[in-house]
Amino acid sequence: MKRVCESESSADRITDLPADVIQRILVYLPIKDAAKTGVLSSKWRCHWRRIPELVFDDDFAQISSDLAESESKVMNKQVMLNIYRSLLLHDGRITKFVLSVPGLIACREIDQIILYLSTKGVQHLKFVFTGINDEEEGDFQMHSSLFSVSHLKSLKLQSCEFKPPSWFVGFTNLTRLVLEYVTSPFDFFRHFLSMCPMLEYFRAIYPDGPAGQLEIVAPLLKSFIFVGYFQSISFKCTPLLSYVVLHLTESETPDLVSLFASLPVLEQLHVNNEVMKYLAPAGRNTPTRLPIPLHHLKVLEMNTLVFDGSPMECVFVSLIMSSPNLHRLTVQLCDQPAGSEVSCLRSLLEAGDCRGSDCLQHLRKFRIEDSRGTQVELDLVRFVLATASLLEFIHITPYKKLGAKKVTKFMKEVIQYKRASKEAEVRFYWDDDDE
């Protein structure tokens, strides 16, 4: 009898929960599980139909890439039918909608979903299509009703076409935008960011970006991440931009001085070798230190670098010397092309201008990834150890194909170098499973 009473008491507590508490609980459940909570009590039976956030992802369904084309189409239709049913049963406002079912192929039925959502006050939208469309059909074009969602605050699109209608005037409330493998007219994209005056975060992956110049005009933008190709990128009005990732392929950027004059509060910078190459001013010497120091820069990461005696090495040195408050420095290397010039990094680092009192004085962590065990790397490690008085550790990860003898020789050389910081450790992380 006591157990029966306890069970009834627990059921009463579940039934008597306030409606807003029930809503918060259901939001954290996959939608299929949320629908099943109706068995808990009669009061819960219809609550899942008023969930403000609808997420259709891998918890909802998955379409295997191993299926035959006919089976995949049947599965695709079934998934869309189940989504339709959920929306038909839904009764209330929808603030967030996510469609990210693995393997889902974009289809015209999605137009009706977008049209429906545009009337529901949706603020957060995510459409990710990972299924492979018929080549003759091309990328799926998002329905024009998407551009009428006036309350939209965040938008993520993947593998589709983003083409605005002529009446589109911008997303005035959008703060977060992610575009991955999205095609759009260049004339539109060039001006799009300026049509989102509240934008704070932007990320784009454009393997085959359009030709032309992209000027970033976004007064509230704080994070900018761009991976891929664009003929030219420059920052014109970005006074709050503090986090920048530029991994470009054959794209042009402003020269070193011009770029950082437009980024007055930059705190984190991640660039690749292509960007470093274009930062070197054509026909002019790169200054050892920038006219305006990067006082706010604390994290600097440079990927796929090649120390080959090119002007890029001068840019590398200039960035280090112009960042007096740098805390973390990461260098990821790649093979030096055959026939390239001998690196002049050592002479650049040993120059008088590089021995200033503020050089690397706040550096805590230094990482070298994919180390080739070259002399130029030894020169760089020696300089950091001798200069960084607050250094905590140097983390070196040798290239996987580097032989054990070269790694051992490199290690023995490094551990003998003098250290400005008594706390500095040299750590090697090497996986020699292939040896």
In tens, the pLDDT along 80-97 reads: 888 888 888 888 889 999
Which of the four pLDDT bands, split at 50, 70 and 90, describes residue 257?
Answer: confident
Decide which of 272 and 30 is more confident.
272
Q: Quick one: pLDDT at residue 4?
A: 43
pTM (2 d.p.): 0.86
User: Which alpha helices (DSSP H) does 43-108 contain, by range?
Assistant: 69-89
Does the pLDDT value for residue 338 go beyond 70?
no
Token pair for 40? 């808990």
Backbone angles phi, psi at 424, to 5 degrees: -65, 130
The model's pLDDT over 182-191, given as tens digits with 9 standing for 90+, comes to 888 766 777 7
Backbone angles phi, psi at 67, to 5 degrees: -70, 150
Does the pLDDT value for residue 313 go beyond 60?
yes
- Tell me the C-alpha distance between 135 and 138, whole Å: 5
Confirm if 252 and 233 have CB atoms less than 8 A apart: yes
- Average pLDDT over the chain, rounded to an integer: 82
Does the pLDDT value for residue 9 go beyond 80?
no
Q: Quick one: pLDDT at residue 435?
A: 42
- Tell me the C-alpha distance between 317 and 329, whole Å: 12
The model's pLDDT over 226-240, given as tens digits with 9 standing for 90+, comes to 998 777 788 888 999
Does the pLDDT value for residue 6 go beyond 50?
no
- Tell me the C-alpha distance between 417 and 378, whole Å: 10
Backbone angles phi, psi at 178, to 5 degrees: -130, 125
Does the pLDDT value for residue 388 go beyond 90?
yes
Does the pLDDT value for residue 135 go beyond 70?
no
Does the pLDDT value for residue 22 go beyond 80?
no
Confirm if 55 and 30 have CB atoms less than 8 A apart: yes
The model's pLDDT over 139-161, given as tens digits with 9 standing for 90+, comes to 788 888 999 998 999 999 998 88
The model's pLDDT over 156-209, given as tens digits with 9 standing for 90+, comes to 999 888 888 889 889 999 999 999 988 887 667 777 888 999 999 999 988 766
Which of the four pLDDT bands, split at 50, 70 and 90, describes residue 8?
Answer: very low
- Tell me the C-alpha distance between 281 and 53, whole Å: 50
Q: Report the percentage of the chain scoring pLDDT > 90.
A: 34
- Tell me the C-alpha distance between 33 and 26, whole Å: 9
Decide which of 232 and 418 is more confident.
418
Q: Quick one: pLDDT at residue 418?
A: 92
